[in-house]
A and B are shown apart, each in its own frame.
Chain A
Amino acid sequence: MAGRVNFELVSPERILVSDTFDMVVIPGGDGDIGVLPDHAPLISTIRPGVIDIHDDGKVAHQVFVAGGFAEVLPDRCTVLAERALMVASIDAGDVRARIEAAELDLRDAESDADRTRAGDELAVLNAMLEAVPDS
């Protein structure tokens, strides 16, 4: 078996994950990127979505990220995420309530900046809801 990927998930506040895994699948801006050891150097944006961390032939962890950047080098993979949380800890009901609130915000937005912001928030929340299994 080939080597393992050094994977790091970092938020502005702290390092969330730092370990080696078999494979990591990242929701890149242009589509999902599967990272195995000895991947070509790559920098990509990340769209709101789920990072699948594969270990022992199955998905070991799922982490939701609201966007950020990924840097891949042959020996490691670093994801800079602004907001990240474990999929298991997401509460679908709570997210639905926040989606409704965000939709209201979007409707009441007065300036373009507010509208963009509410729109972004809504996209993140929708992606979050999709991430939750059986919702």
Chain B
Amino acid sequence: MANLKALRTRISSVRSTRKITSAMKMVAAAKLRHAQESAEAARPYAERMARMMASLAGAFAGREDAPRLLAGTGSDRVNLIVVVTSDRGLCGGFNASVVRSVRQRIAELHKQGREIKLLCLGRKGRDLLRRDHGELIIETLQGLDKGFSYDTARDAAERITRMFEAGEFDRCTIVFNRFQSVMTQVVTWQGLIPAVAADQPVDDLGGAVYIFEPDEGAILEHLLPRNLGVQVFRGLLESQASEHAARMTAMDNATRNAGDMIDRLNLVYNRTRQAAITTEITEIVSGAEAL
């Protein structure tokens, strides 16, 4: 019977989908562990750099000769937004939530008459934003899911610094999914330029003041671009861990849904088969009676 055959095909197709989604879930789980480890391993560097930044920024507070990367250009006309997303889909609302937040921000800033530029790290961000805001995207970096190192982040940061020095924008913010837990990823906005010193209590040095070698200015000149690189790197790592977590959850749901669907289809299949058998028997019996 055609109907039975269709059901059989359907069941086997859902079965193979379930196989794929459960395999993807396993892969995501393995990658998540790795990504989480590297995100945690990178934390000490970022923390210590933030501490150094805080000490240095303290030394420059209120001074007019503060470097522009620290103090900004004094204007906020052109805003650069660095959008961190994944290269691949099938990870639930991971990319959509970042992009939604970016869209809102663009609408707000446009209302205030600001100019916006977008730098996409990850292919999906560009794909999703291209239709509405294609003209704002100045550059896209992809291939991040094949693994990246600090050098990748440093290159991106150098490009941002060069653009800043060329006066292409006044402010820069980065947006990414911060990894909170396997179930929750939080879209996070963070300012890159002007550099914000983390709200971290500066160590009590017992009244002592740091000696700076060679001097505050020279150190800041080196530290600020590095700090930018570290922030971008952190964003990438957090985003990567979030991506795998989101994909794992999404694929877990998909696997469960596929299981439910197989159960339902099996029920329908068995019922239809039973109905066909009953009809056949009735036909034979009524045929015999007619003799």
A100 at the interface (CB under 8 A from B): no
Write the nearest CB–CB distance from B57 to chain A, whole angstroms.
12
> When the two chains form their complex, are residues A12 and B233 in contact, meaning their CB atoms are under 8 A apart?
yes
B38 at the interface (CB under 8 A from A): yes
Compute how far the CA of A13 lies from the CA of B148 in the bound complex, rounded to whole angstroms. Answer: 11
> When the two chains form their complex, are residues A42 and B210 in contact, meaning their CB atoms are under 8 A apart?
yes
> When the two chains form their complex, are residues B213 and A13 in contact, meaning their CB atoms are under 8 A apart?
no
Interface of A is mostly: strand
Across-interface contacts of A3 in B (CB, < 8 A): none
B48 at the interface (CB under 8 A from A): yes
Given A45-B219, A80-B45; A13-B214 close (CB under 8 Å) = no
Compute how far the CA of A113 lies from the CA of B46 in the bound complex, rounded to whole angstroms. Answer: 26
Write the nearest CB–CB distance from B83 to chain A, whole angstroms.
22
Tell me which of A12, A40, A45, A80 has the highest count of chain B C-beta atoms within 10 A of its own C-beta.
A12
Question: Which residues of chain B from 42 to 66 have a CB within 8 Å of any chain A CB?
Answer: 42, 44-46, 48-49, 51-52, 55-56
> When the two chains form their complex, are residues A29 and B213 in contact, meaning their CB atoms are under 8 A apart?
yes
> When the two chains form their complex, are residues B219 and A44 in contact, meaning their CB atoms are under 8 A apart?
yes
Across-interface contacts of A30 in B (CB, < 8 A): 213-214
Given A30-B214, A43-B52, A43-B55; A10-B208 close (CB under 8 Å) = no
Q: Which residue of A lies closest to B211 (CB)?
A: A42
Write the nearest CB–CB distance from A111 to chain B, whole angstroms.
10
The number of chain A residues touching the other chain, given as a range, is 20 to 34
> When the two chains form their complex, are residues A80 and B52 in contact, meaning their CB atoms are under 8 A apart?
yes
Across-interface contacts of A12 in B (CB, < 8 A): 42, 45-46, 150, 153, 229-230, 233
> When the two chains form their complex, are residues A13 and B205 in contact, meaning their CB atoms are under 8 A apart?
no
Compute how far the CA of A42 lies from the CA of B155 in the bound complex, rounded to whole angstroms. Answer: 29
Across-interface contacts of B226 in A (CB, < 8 A): 68-69, 80, 82
Across-interface contacts of B233 in A (CB, < 8 A): 12
> When the two chains form their complex, are residues A13 and B211 in contact, meaning their CB atoms are under 8 A apart?
no
Given A10-B45, A13-B38, A13-B150; A69-B214 close (CB under 8 Å) = no
Given A45-B222, A80-B49, A82-B226; A40-B211 close (CB under 8 Å) = yes
Contacts A14-B38, A71-B51 supplied; 16 other A-B pairs, CB < 8 Å: A10-B44, A12-B46, A13-B41, A13-B42, A30-B214, A42-B212, A43-B210, A43-B211, A44-B219, A45-B219, A45-B222, A69-B226, A73-B203, A78-B48, A80-B45, A80-B48
